[in-house]
Amino acid sequence: MPKLKGSLKNITDKPSTIREVLLRATHTRTNGKTITTSEPVRVKVSESGDFTETLAPGAAVLVLVGADFMARESIPLLVAEGMTTIAEAMEAARDFTPDVHDRLAELAAETQKNLEEARGVKAEADSATARMREAAQALKDSVDGSIAEATVGIKKSGSELLASMQALQSKAASSESEAKESAQGAEASRSAALASASSASSSAGEAAESLAGLRAKIEEWKPHGEQLAQWQPQFEWLKENAASGFTKIAELMQDAAAGVRGELSGLVEQAKTAQTTAGQHSLKAQAAAKDAESVANRVVDAAIAKLKGNAPAMLDTLEELAERVISGGTLETEILQKLSKMADSDTVKKIVARLDGLTIAGVQGLSAALADKAAARHKHGTSDINGLDTELAGFKGALAEKAPRQHGHTLQEISGLSGAILNVRNELSQKASQQYVNSVETEAKRQYGRIKDISVVNSLPASPDAGTIYLVKER
């Protein structure tokens, strides 16, 4: 397993304050004969920001842990043999998301399965070739045996015929009989030769049938291999651009969403500002009303005080009498006590009788003096306070232009939102649909199922096999 070194620095190129990281696999997976789990492993980071750890090849995640023991960021890694730094694994995982990894793993498994099936077909073809070779060898052996037997028979018949001819010279009678026997022997040898030839023909027929079946199987695979070769460029493009295409679509959607959220945030801030301003205007109106009430009270109090100060002695005397009546006693007792010191009883009686029938109208000037005065407790309209209606009208106009605390907006009321949505739609319309990508992926998988072999070569052969995928080594 590769041993990787990590070096953490901040934006000023100084050692990071991160003192601990977590390393884990993206998911539990097999690694040869062992199982690699997804449990996190704590790794200490030195004050210089460096750490070293041995990792199993495959997808992994690096989690930065802050001084507050809170996870700051999760960084995807793709570990491979030959790597020496965490930065290399991070760069390798830039476009290698877990979804892409899982999808490629599935495709690799399916490819391996198809390769095994192709190897099985190849084994069957090899077996058929071996049987064909055996049949051909049997045919050759049978023909050679038949020829050898025929040759021996002919030689034997020739020898017997020669002996018969020699004996014929000496014995004419016996020579004729022996010639007949030799002819019968030759006929039997010829029959044996014909039987051997028939057996050889039968073996040749079986071999021809096996060869024809193999050729038919090859012809059946040929169009599939040609179609796979035609789809190879599309599959390579899909493998290289599918992940980046999905990433681009996600980025466009995120940018559009961020733009909409930015616009809405601005509008929310404006609404909050308007709400705050409206609240301030409301407080100002309340303060102005209180100020107006205070001014009115001061004016009334000053008018009453002025009225009291300018009142005649009789009014002051009545006020004093009223205050004494409030504090206790009766008006008659007070008057009798006051007048008893100044006049006799008859005069007091007359004054008492006169006071008993005395009314406000009977007091000269009192009614006129009190007629245009306000009561001690009274109310004022806004029109009674100079300038108050104008000031309140200004506040009402300012509040009318503000939105309520809870309100909504239509699409047309948000500037730029329609254009942003239209731009996103245009961007998305220019991208491949998920249905198209799925159809291409399905076709690629179907074509992959027809692969017979995958071969690693230094360069493409002059006559490549349509059913073989060639992986050319980089020089």
Q: CA-to-CA distance for 428 and 421, rounded, in angstroms? A: 10
Name, of 146-150, 169-173, 299-303, 411-415, the range with top average pLDDT. 411-415
Whether 121 and 451 have beta carbons less than 8 Å apart is answered as no
Higher-pLDDT residue of 89 and 253 is: 89
Q: Report, as an integer, the average pLDDT of 256-278.
A: 57
Residues with Cβ within 8 Å of 262's Cβ and at least 6 positions away in sequence, in order, are none
Name, of 46-60, 140-154, 260-274, 301-315, the range with top average pLDDT. 46-60
Higher-pLDDT residue of 376 and 18 is: 18
Neighbours of 58 (CB within 10 A): 18
User: For 428-469, what is each residue's pLDDT tens digit?
Assistant: 666 666 676 677 677 766 766 667 777 778 887 888 877 777
Q: What is the sign of the dihedral through the CA atoms of 325, 329, 331 and 334?
A: negative
Tokens representing residue 279 in the block: 């609240």
Beta bridge partners of 3: 54
| Residue 398 C-alpha from the chain's centroid | 46
Whether 124 and 153 have beta carbons less than 8 Å apart is answered as no
Tokens representing residue 131 in the block: 């049987």
User: For 222-243, what is each residue's pLDDT tens digit?
Assistant: 666 666 566 666 656 655 665 5
Which amino acid, 419? G
Q: Report, as an integer, the average pLDDT of 94-101.
A: 64
Q: Report, as an integer, the average pLDDT of 109-122.
A: 69
Helix axes 313-327, 172-310, angle to 10 degrees: 120
Whether 32 and 57 have beta carbons less than 8 Å apart is answered as no
Give me the chain's average pLDDT, please. Answer: 68
Name, of 3-17, 214-228, 250-264, 376-390, the range with top average pLDDT. 3-17
Percentage of the chain modeled with pLDDT above 90:
12
pLDDT number for residue 120: 73
Q: Report, as an integer, the average pLDDT of 260-270.
A: 58
Q: CA-to-CA distance for 390 and 409, rounded, in angstroms? A: 32
Grade residue 185 by pLDDT with cuts at 50, 70 and 90.
Answer: low
pLDDT number for residue 92: 86
Tokens representing residue 110 in the block: 């399916």
Is the pLDDT at 264 greater than 60? The verdict is: no
User: For 297-337, what is each residue's pLDDT tens digit?
Assistant: 675 566 556 545 554 454 455 555 455 545 555 555 655 56
Which amino acid, 396? K
Which amino acid, 165? M
Helix axes 172-310, 388-400, angle to 10 degrees: 180
Among 19-28, 257-266, 431-440, which is the least confidently predicted range? 257-266
Name, of 75-84, 160-169, 320-329, the range with top average pLDDT. 75-84
Among 75-84, 161-170, 341-350, which is the least confidently predicted range? 161-170
Name, of 316-325, 367-376, 419-428, the range with top average pLDDT. 419-428
Name, of 175-184, 393-402, 460-469, the range with top average pLDDT. 460-469
Tokens representing residue 332 in the block: 């008659």
Is the pLDDT at 285 greater than 60? The verdict is: no
Grade residue 200 by pLDDT with cuts at 50, 70 and 90.
Answer: very low
Is the pLDDT at 143 greater than 80? The verdict is: no
pLDDT number for residue 62: 93
pLDDT number for residue 392: 75
Grade residue 5 by pLDDT with cuts at 50, 70 and 90.
Answer: very high
Tokens representing residue 77 in the block: 């890694």
pLDDT number for residue 87: 93
Q: Report, as an integer, the average pLDDT of 175-204.
A: 54
Among 3-12, 105-114, 261-270, 320-329, which is the least confidently predicted range? 320-329
Domains of the chain, first to last: 3-94 (2.60.40.1120), 267-411 (no CATH)
Is the pLDDT at 347 greater than 70? The verdict is: no
- Exposed (0-12), middle (13-18) or buried (19+): which is 21, by Cβ within 10 Å? buried
Tokens representing residue 151 in the block: 């040759």
pLDDT number for residue 11: 92
